[in-house]
Amino acid sequence: MSADISTFSGAAYNEKKQHLFTEEYVIKKEGTKILSVKTRFLSPEGSLLAEMSSDFPENIYLPKVHFTNTNNLFNYGTTLLEKSIQLFKGSASQLVKKKTLPLKHNMVAGHGFYFYILDQLSTLLEGKSLQMIFLQPNRLATYTLNITALQESKELVKIHLTMDNPILKALTPEIHLTINPITKTLLSYEGPSSFFADDHSLRKIHVNYTTPKTLVP
pLDDT value of residue 71: 74
User: What fold is seen in the domain 4-214?
Assistant: outer membrane lipoprotein receptor (LolB), chain A (2.50.20)
At 65 the three-state DSSP class reads strand
pLDDT value of residue 157: 98
Q: Where are the domains of the chain?
A: 4-214
Q: Are the CB atoms for 22 and 9 separated by under 8 Å?
A: yes
pLDDT value of residue 32: 87
Which residues contact residue 42 at a Cβ distance below 8 angstroms, ignoring those fewer than 6 apart?
Answer: 21, 22, 23, 24, 48, 49
Across the chain, which has 217 residues, the per-10-residue mean pLDDT values are 89 93 95 94 94 93 93 86 94 83 96 96 96 95 96 96 94 94 95 65 86 83
CA 80 – CA 83 distance, rounded (Å): 8
pLDDT value of residue 196: 55
Rounded (10°) CA dihedral 213, 150, 174, 39? -10
CA 54 – CA 60 distance, rounded (Å): 10
pLDDT value of residue 94: 74
Which residues contact residue 152 at a Cβ distance below 8 angstroms, ignoring those fewer than 6 apart?
Answer: 158
DSSP count for the chain of H helices, then E strands: 3, 16
